[in-house]
C-alpha cells in the first residue's frame, strides 16, 4: 500500500453517496483553513481562517474567489486544532446531498491542495495524534456497523474508554509487579527479598480473575456485535415462510397452501432481544422431483450445516412423517429449537416423539402470531446458553481484543503456576513482560503498520 505523509491535508466525502438533504465534505490538516479560504465565500466577506473554532457560517462554494462561479450553497464549520476529531484543523462543508454537487465540491478542494483520504484515515490520525487509543478507534467502526441497540451501546462504552480504563488499570498493576520482580532480580545480594510471594500470588490471582471476567462478557459481546445465523427448516408446507413473516412482522415470503412454494433460501436480518440474527428460510427438505428442487434442497442442507441455531418446524395437524424423522436424526447433535406449528388446527402430531430428542419444544401458530413472543424468548435463551446477563458489564466484543486478552490471561496463569512451583523469578518476570506487551497491543501502545492498515482498511473513506 502506498504510504502517505501525516503532514498532508486530506479530504473526503463523509456521508453516504446518494440523494439526501445534506452531504458533508470533510477536510483535515495544517492547510485546511487556507484551502477553505480559496473555495468559500461568506455573506459577511469573512474568511474561514478568521472564523472562531466551533462556529458555523453560511455562504457559497465558488470555483474561483475572483470570478465567483458558484458550485453550491453551503454551511461551513470550523474546528481548530487541537480540539477536533483528528487534533488537526478541520473544516466541514455541509453541501446539498446530490452526488454531482458533492463531487464538484470535493474535486475543487482536491485541486486546491488536498489529497483524497485513505479509508479510515481521519480516525487513524485521531489515534496517531493521541486523541483516542486503538481500542477506541476500533469502537468507531463498531458504532457505524451496529445492527442493534445493544451492539450500539457496547460500541459507545468502548469509545468512551470503558475497556481502555480496565486494560490500563490491569497494565499499571502488572507494571508495578514487574518493577518489584526486576528489582529483586537485579539486586540478588540484598539480604531481604523485595518480593512477598504470598502477596504476589494474591495480586496475580486478582488480575487473572478480572481478565476471566472480561472474557466472560466477551462471548456475549461478540454475539451482540456480529449476531448469529439462524435457519428455519422442515418438510414442505409446515409453515416456514409463515414463521419468517411472523418473526419479521411483515410479509417477506410468499405463503400458499401449495407444498414447495419456497424453492430457494430467503435471508433477512432481525433484532431479537438486542441480538442481530440473520434468519434464513430454506426450501422444504424433500425427495427432489427436478433439478431446481435438487439444487434448492442441497442449498438448504448447506445452510443447516453452517447455522449457529436451527429451528426445526413441525406441522401439528399432521402425524410425524419420514421427512420429519430424517430431520430429527440429522439435527439431534446440533443446537436446535423444535417448534410445533399450526396449533390452531386439530392436533395429530406425537409430541412425545419430539420431546425425546429436543428440549424445549414450543407450540405456536405462525398464522395467528400465537406464542411468537415465547419463541423469541427461547431463541435469546438458547443463544445465551440460558444466561441472559453477565456478572460484569460487557466491555469487549472485538475478536482481536478477545484473543489478546486470552493470551494475557494464559500468561498470568502461567506466572501463578511458576510461583506455586517455586521457579526462578526470571520466569515469572518474563511472563509478566509478555502479558504487558499483549495488553499494550489492545490500546495501540505497541503496533505495526500492517496492523493499522488492516484495522483502518475496514472504515469508509470519510471516517
Domains of the chain: 10-132 (3.30.1360.120), 144-223+398-444 (1.20.120.430), 227-383 (3.40.50.300)
Look at the pTM and tell me if it is higher than 0.85: no
What residues form DSSP beta bridges with 41? 60
The pLDDT score that the predictor gives to residue 391 is 45
Rg for the chain, CA atoms, rounded: 29
Q: Which residues, including other chains, have CB under 8 Å from residue 114's CB and lie 6 or more apart?
A: 8, 9, 10, 11, 27, 29, 31, 35
Decide: residue 188, CB within 10 A, 0-12 exposed, 13-18 middle, 19+ buried. Answer: exposed
Residue 378 sits at φ, ψ, to 5 deg, of -65, -35
Mean pLDDT by 10 residues, the chain (463 residues): 76 88 94 95 88 95 75 95 96 93 93 93 94 93 85 89 93 92 72 70 93 85 82 88 86 47 66 85 57 61 82 92 88 88 92 89 91 90 59 75 94 92 88 94 88 84 82
Q: Which of 177, 218, 196 is nearest to 411 (CA)?
A: 177
pLDDT of residue 287: 52
Is 211 in contact with 416 (CB distance < 8 Å)? no
The pLDDT assigned to 451 comes to 84
Amino acid at each position: 500500500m502506498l504510504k502517505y505523509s501525516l503532514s498532508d491535508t486530506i479530504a473526503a466525502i463523509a456521508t453516504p453517496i446518494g440523494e439526501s438533504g445534506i452531504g458533508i465534505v470533510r477536510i483535515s490538516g495544517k492547510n485546511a483553513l487556507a484551502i477553505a479560504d480559496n473555495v468559500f465565500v461568506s455573506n459577511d466577506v469573512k474568511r474561514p481562517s478568521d472564523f472562531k473554532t466551533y462556529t458555523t457560517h453560511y455562504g457559497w462554494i465558488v470555483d474561483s474567489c475572483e470570478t465567483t462561479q458558484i458550485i453550491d450553497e453551503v454551511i461551513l464549520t470550523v474546528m481548530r486544532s487541537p480540539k477536533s476529531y483528528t487534533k488537526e484543523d478541520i473544516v466541514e462543508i455541509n453541501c446539498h446531498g446530490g452526488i454531482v454537487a458533492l463531487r464538484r465540491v470535493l474535486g475543487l478542494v482536491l485541486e486546491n491542495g488536498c489529497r483524497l483520504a485513505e479509508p479510515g484515515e481521519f480516525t487513524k490520525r485521531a489515534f496517531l495524534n493521541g486523541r483516542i487509543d486503538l481500542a477506541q478507534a476500533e469502537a468507531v467502526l463498531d458504532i457505524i456497523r451496529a445492527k442493534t441497540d445493544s451492539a450500539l451501546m457496547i460500541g459507545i462504552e468502548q469509545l468512551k474508554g470503558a475497556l481502555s480504563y480496565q486494560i490500563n488499570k490491569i497494565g499499571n498493576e502488572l507494571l508495578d509487579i514487574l518493577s518489584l520482580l526486576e528489582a529483586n532480580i537485579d539486586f540478588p545480594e540484598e539480604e531481604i527479598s523485595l518480593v512477598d510471594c504470598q502477596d504476589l500470588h494474591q495480586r496475580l490471582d486478582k488480575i487473572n480473575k478480572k481478565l476471566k471476567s472480561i472474557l466472560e462478557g466477551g462471548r456475549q459481546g461478540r454475539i451482540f456485535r456480529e449476531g448469529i445465523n439462524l435457519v428455519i427448516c422442515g418438510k414442505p408446507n409446515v409453515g416456514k415462510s409463515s414463521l419468517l413473516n411472523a418473526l419479521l412482522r411483515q410479509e417477506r415470503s410468499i405463503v400458499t397452501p401449495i407444498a414447495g412454494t419456497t424453492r430457494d433460501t430467503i435471508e433477512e436480518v432481525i433484532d431479537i432481544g438486542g441480538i442481530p440474527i440473520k434468519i434464513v428460510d430454506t426450501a422444504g427438505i424433500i425427495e427432489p422431483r427436478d433439478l431446481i428442487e435438487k439444487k434448492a434442497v442441497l442449498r438448504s442442507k448447506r445452510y443447516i450445516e453452517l447455522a449457529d441455531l436451527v429451528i426445526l418446524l413441525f406441522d401439528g395437524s399432521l402425524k410425524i412423517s419420514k421427512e420429519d424423522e430424517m430431520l430429527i436424526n440429522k439435527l439431534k447433535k446440533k443446537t436446535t429449537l423444535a417448534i410445533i406449528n399450526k396449533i390452531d388446527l386439530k392436533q395429530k402430531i406425537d409430541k412425545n416423539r419430539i420431546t425425546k430428542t429436543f428440549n424445549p419444544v414450543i407450540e405456536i401458530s405462525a398464522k395467528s402470531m400465537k406464542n411468537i413472543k415465547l419463541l423469541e424468548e427461547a431463541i435469546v435463551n438458547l443463544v445465551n446458553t440460558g444466561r441472559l446477563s453477565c456478572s460484569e458489564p460487557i466491555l469487549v466484543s472485538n475478536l482481536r481484543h478477545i484473543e489478546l486478552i486470552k493470551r494475557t490471561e494464559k500468561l498470568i496463569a502461567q506466572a501463578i503456576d511458576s510461583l506455586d512451583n517455586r521457579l526462578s523469578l526470571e520466569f515469572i518476570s518474563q511472563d509478566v513482560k509478555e502479558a504487558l506487551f499483549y495488553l499494550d497491543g489492545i490500546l495501540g501502545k505497541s503496533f505495526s503498520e500492517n496492523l493499522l492498515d488492516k484495522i483502518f482498511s475496514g472504515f469508509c473513506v470519510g471516517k
